[in-house]
Amino acid sequence: MKVSTLLFSISSLVASASAAAYPVSKATCPGYKKASYPQVENGVYSVELTLAGPPCNIYGNDIKDLKLSITNTKGNNIRILIEDKDKKQYQISDDIVVVNRNPKNNNFADLEINHTVDPKTGFGFKITRGDEVIFDTTGHPLIFEDQYLELTSSIADNANIYGMGESADYFRRDSNNSTKTLWARDAATPLKENVYGAHSIYMEKRNGKFHGAYLHNSHGMDIVLANNTIQYRVLGGVIDLNVFGGPSAYDVINAYTELVGRPHPLPYWTLGLHNCRYGYKSIDEVNQVIANYSSAGIPLETMWIDIDYMDRTKDFTFDPVNFPINRVQETLRDLRKNKQKMVMMTDPAIQRNSSYAPFARGLAKDAFIKNADGSLYVGQVWPGYTTFPDWFAPNTEEWWHNELDLYFNNIDLDGMWIDMNEAASFCTGSCGSGISEDVIPPFPWKVDPPVPHRNISKDNTFLVPKYSINNPQTELSDKGIETTAVHANGLIDYHVHNLYGHMMAQTTRKFLDKHRPNVRPFLLTRSTFAGTGAYASHWNGDNGSDWQNLHISIPSMLDFGIFGIPFVGSDICGFFGNSTEQLCARWIEVGAFYPFSRVHNGIDSSPQELYRWPVVAEASRRVLNVRYQLLPYYYTYHSKSTISGHPVARPLVFEFPQDSNTNDIDKQFMIGEGILISPVVAENATTVEAYLPKGIWYDWYDHKGIMSQGRNYTLEAPIEHVNVHIKGGSIISTQEARMTVEESRASDFTLIVALDENSKASGDLYLDDGLTYNTSHTTINFSYDNKKLTSKGTYNYKEHTSICKIIILSYIKDKSETLVVVKENIKLDLNSSWSIEI
């Protein structure tokens, strides 16, 4: 930390703005002033703050005395912690989000911080990168109340803002009028509203450089963009802000994931195609679906089964008639014989019935959330009245692991899928309390007339806070656990609601690691928080089968690259509603390139497996042939993400930050640094307007090159075709596409060497066993220069295949054509360095 940047100026500063850019109240809040001499200890600067005037108490009770601590970590991450002096406000403990406070990040952004007191608005601070101010709260009073925090920073005019959510939205946020609400909610991806996860990390691009900020707080909040400011409005806790200096987008993501947790390593097989449907009526129907994929020549890696397999939708059970356990086990064995996999769903809600053994055992372990009077909190989910595991309770992990152990002894699945973990409930409050456990209530949406909403008690500000975040429900507790429900440590859900899915993923991941020691598990979760990527992957929930949702699936995928969860995708062809042949064909042409590629739809929708329509089947075969050839390329980038956090699917603005034309592009995306996908996302279109940044771009299929100066091109896109381009300067490692990932991995390699305008190219390849944690691994860098192809690396993993084909693409500018040189029938070693002239 530069001590010179930590001087607390007690001289006045002319206010740069009004008391608040867009105040949520007409009250004038005084802000804070210095109340002690600064101290520096172990690199942390601290000073006490106190209210600079009469309290305003706009949405709670102003807290008079605060403590400010500032830590500047290696110039690329400044932490500003503002907490109540008595530490009564809830802060996330380090065992829930395992925060790395001693990063080894070597990217230096030369950040500095200065803070001052303004006579009108009180304490404020500026963070600069060189001569550029990237976070500036001066002129905006800090509000710190027991149930309301407000922190405001100036941003650039018409700023390029990315991140914040989870929210189905366009990738570049509307900086003039956006509210991103962080309150985990079971909602079917309505446009621009809060849904399943809560991520406060955002990034801003200015003058070709990126910076970002992350607020470490689990309370509900609005993050509002308007009037050249970004404003955090938080329902409690403390200000624990980390500002990242970049300057690249990947530097920001690197610093963020180093703080909250790197993405977990994936088993290789997860990169294949997955299929699921909510509504399979029997194991016979599941078996027929598996057979139909094979007959259609469409590769299917993993068959998923939704809650249909359960006995009356109860966790850890099997329907004795339609999904008898012996038949499900037989299907799993058959899948394994064909080198395929199986995953099934588990929800957190446990039916409240003493005859149901998981409930009885959980009750004995005191593992469930309670009401304020100590009774069980009882909501309603699929099996009726349900209790909810309390991840804070000391015995819950032991109980949950025991239930999973018994479950896996029955069906040793290849992965787990945890859903409804916001946690979702179909009623408001403890609606099952006092009702006989034999009663199974109807689903609320099937009751006619609808049950009226309960009377809202505004006297309890933990049920109805004075500041109402932009959560589109009648009250915060709707569709979830009541905010006044009590956890084992005495905390009410109000403070920790957004952590529920994260903690379920964390606890479940611990079991999976114990269940198969040294084998990388696969865990998919719906609700996420900062750091969830260290434990689980994500899909974007219950989307609609329509063209807008197809488009929005791309920015939703790109958002999670910022959030540190790179293995992500949306339900291909949509979950709700009936897909059409055209929509489904176009969707697989996008979804085949999602990092997580899965077809899935709902029980009331028409079946949409990829073999159902001839056009969709043909489009699927073509595009999955591309994906499966690219499996080693995908796996290399996923492996890189575990080290740097860098996403696999990337927006063009991250790859080409100096090109302002890329700022708004979210209908195209990159895979890694070398592959550009330009799909059709509009109905009846047979061409696509694709932006090609400056450079050479080679068509994947016919290798024709385009030397672009950075402009749009109209590309032909018949219904069974998606445009894929290779960026000049890239070396892409591919293998032959076969019907399973394991079979594809056993085939020999082809290198596609796509030369740039200087006749150079480079690329990486990562190899390991694709399964275990402690596997030896090989990392190879390929480079091409002066007609020489070179392979250098560290060779610790024994690869049993070779490079048997090389394709060199070079664009001849004078002739506006591509020269293709193919070298076949070779055998180049992947276990040692070499160079050859081509």
Query: Which amino acids are annotated catalytic?
Result: 419, 422, 542
Cα 502 to Cα 391: distance, rounded to the nearest angstrom: 10
Half-sphere exposure of 73 (CA within 13 A, CB side): 21
Give me Rg for the CA atoms of the chain: 27
The arrangement of strands across the sheet holding 221-226 comes to 143-144, 149-154, 229-234, 221-226, 178-182
Cα 748 to Cα 806: distance, rounded to the nearest angstrom: 11
Q: What proportions of the chain, in percent to the nearest 5, are helix, strand and coil?
A: 20, 30, 50
Which amino acid appears at position 541 of this protein?
G
If one counts every other C-beta atom within 10 angstroms of the C-beta of residue 737, the result is 18
Give the 3-state secondary structure of 5-42.
HHCEECCCCCCCCCCCCCCCCCCCCCCEEECCCCEEEC
Question: Pairing relation of β-strands 749-754 and 803-812?
Answer: parallel
Cα 760 to Cα 731: distance, rounded to the nearest angstrom: 10
The arrangement of strands across the sheet holding 384-387 comes to 350-351, 384-387, 379-381
**CB contact at 8 A, 172 and 192:** no
Placement of tokens 């032991």 in the chain: 398
The answer, yes or no, to whether the previous bond of 423 is cis (omega within 30 of 0) is: yes
If one counts every other C-beta atom within 10 angstroms of the C-beta of residue 266, the result is 23
Both tokens assigned to 118: 């303004």
**CB contact at 8 A, 415 and 270:** yes
Comparing CA positions, the residue from 828, 738, 643, 744 lying closest to residue 258 is 643
Both tokens assigned to 621: 């075969």
Give the 3-state secondary structure of 389-411.
ECCCCCCHHHHHHHHHHHHHHHC
Cα 205 to Cα 189: distance, rounded to the nearest angstrom: 27
DSSP 594-640: SSS-EE---TTS----TTSSHHHHHHHHHHHHHHHHTHHHHHHHHHH
Comparing CA positions, the residue from 550, 559, 549, 553 lying closest to residue 528 is 559
Element (H, E) at 117: strand 111-118
Half-sphere exposure of 44 (CA within 13 A, CB side): 13
Residues 6+ apart with CB under 8 A from 548: 191
Residue 235 DSSP label: S
Cα 123 to Cα 80: distance, rounded to the nearest angstrom: 13
Placement of tokens 């009469």 in the chain: 54
524: left (phi over 0), alpha (psi -120 to 50) or beta: beta
Angle between helices 547-562 and 249-260 (to 10 degrees): 70
